Structure 1
Amino acid sequence: MDIKKLNNILPLPNRAYDTGLNVSWPLIDDKYSFPKDYIEFITQYGIGRIDNFLTLFNPFINNDDWNFFKQKEWIIADLSELNESDPDYYSFILYPESDGLLPIGITDNGDYIFWVVSSANSELWNVAVIAARDSDVEYHQMNLVSFIEGILSKKIRSLCFPMDFPSSNILFDNNDFRL
């Protein structure tokens, strides 16, 4: 299972926040379930920053800066504006279109992480990355947890991320997310 491989690389926090434990997980737009690998990640890690660089949005946090539903609206609106303002440069396929990009995370450099919504079955969704201020989309044929595990174990490389990520001492830090 992918989450166990990730647990070996990314130590669990002493205390996880906004994990969704003992609550019913919402649907995305009353239509899609969250992928199981993402649910496992949030249940175990909650909200926090991976190796002081990557943060996944969370449907349970009250802070709009990290809330999945708020960020989904804002990022899709921003990218839609870019598509309209310069269609020769920006041509992102955005959720809810078929194979549309659905934002799930952000890096400290402003790179976005997405699910590629290719099916009504969220277990089939892959991952994409757009570097800050870039028009190219980098696609990865794997689920979100496999992508994170692959990046942290250096089995895969994203050209969007800096060469010094991940660090030699990978941590999950949630101190900045406490209320």
Structure 2
Amino acid sequence: MSQQSEFVERVVRLAEVHAEAHWELDWSRVEASLGHALPFDYKRLCEELPPGKFCDFFWILHPVGSKGASMLGRSSELIEAVEEFIEDEDECPGESGRIFPCFVTDNGDVGYWIADTDNPDDWTVAINEGRGPEWEPTELSLSAFLYQLLTGGYVSGLFPESLRSREPRFSSNF
């Protein structure tokens, strides 16, 4: 089992989703709509978990999600917003056209994949402060970041301290 698969399994166990998925995802269609490939661990997370949020705070952008947390509904808007920062900020860890959103928080923070290689499975996550220029590169895949965040192994300076004391609860809006 690859490390990414291992982290996906750990996140799914933490989420405690016991229902079978009742959606099918056509990844070639999703990727064509977005205009770029997606990492394996993200696809697995979306196949195993319904749209929803962790700790009443953190939403993975899901292809099946509602507009606020939908990969297809928010991607172009979030890419457009970050492109402005790339032009104006030296802090952004990604290059124009090579940074793609993968999660949002209730505080307006956005997680982006830094696509610094052509292999999406090598992309790492960086967090952009909600309504601000600060960036926090993680050097972690999405599934590793999510697992470590939920279990206290990763602490973000951009997220509220109260997140650290929350149980790694998952609630679905699907």
Tell me which interval the TM-score lies in, with the shorter structure as reference length.
0.7 to 0.9
Report whether the alignment pairs 1:38 with 2:42: yes
Contact persistence 1:64–1:71 (CA under 8 A): yes
Give the AA of the match of 1:24: D
SS where residue 159 of structure 1 aligns?
Answer: coil
Give the AA of the match of 2:45: F
Corresponding residue for residue 170 of structure 1: 168
Corresponding residue for residue 110 of structure 1: 108
Query: What is the Cα deviation at residue 29 of structure 1?
Result: 5.3
Corresponding residue for residue 132 of structure 1: 130
Higher helix share: 2
Report whether the alignment pairs 1:65 with 2:68: yes
User: Residue deviations 1:79-98, cap 9 Å, x none?
Assistant: 334556xx3x57644551xx
Alignment of structure 1 residues 123-162 onto 2, 5 Å? 123-162=121-160
Corresponding residue for residue 47 of structure 1: 51
Corresponding residue for residue 3 of structure 2: none
Structure 1 residues 137 and 30, CA gap change in structure 2 (3 angstroms): closer
The CA distance in 2 between the partners of 1:45 and 1:139, in whole Å, is: 25
Corresponding residue for residue 24 of structure 1: 26
Give the AA of the match of 2:82: L
SS where residue 173 of structure 1 aligns?
Answer: strand
SS where residue 135 of structure 1 aligns?
Answer: coil
Q: Which region of structure 1 is more displaced relative to structure 2, 66-75 or 152-161? A: 66-75
Q: Which region of structure 1 is more displaced relative to structure 2, 119-128 or 164-173? A: 164-173
Q: Which runs of 5+ in 2 are unaligned?
A: 1-5
When the two structures are superposed, what TM-score results if normalisation uses the length of structure 2?
A: 0.82
Query: What is the Cα deviation at residue 118 of structure 1?
Result: 1.2
SS where residue 133 of structure 1 aligns?
Answer: coil
Query: What is the Cα deviation at residue 28 of structure 1?
Result: 5.0
Contact persistence 2:151–2:168 (CA under 8 A): no
Contact persistence 1:20–1:42 (CA under 8 A): no
SS where residue 7 of structure 1 aligns?
Answer: helix
Q: Which runs of 5+ in 1 are unaligned?
A: none
Structure 1 residues 20 and 126, CA gap change in structure 2 (3 angstroms): farther
Contact persistence 1:51–1:167 (CA under 8 A): no
The CA distance in 1 between the partners of 2:23 and 2:114, in whole Å, is: 23
User: Residue deviations 1:28-75, cap 9 Å, x none?
Assistant: 5575332111111111112001110000111233x3322212311101
Corresponding residue for residue 7 of structure 1: 12
Which of 119, 122, 130 is the equivalent residue of 2:120?
Answer: 122
Query: What is the Cα deviation at residue 149 of structure 1?
Result: 0.4
The CA distance in 2 between the partners of 1:31 and 1:83, in whole Å, is: 19
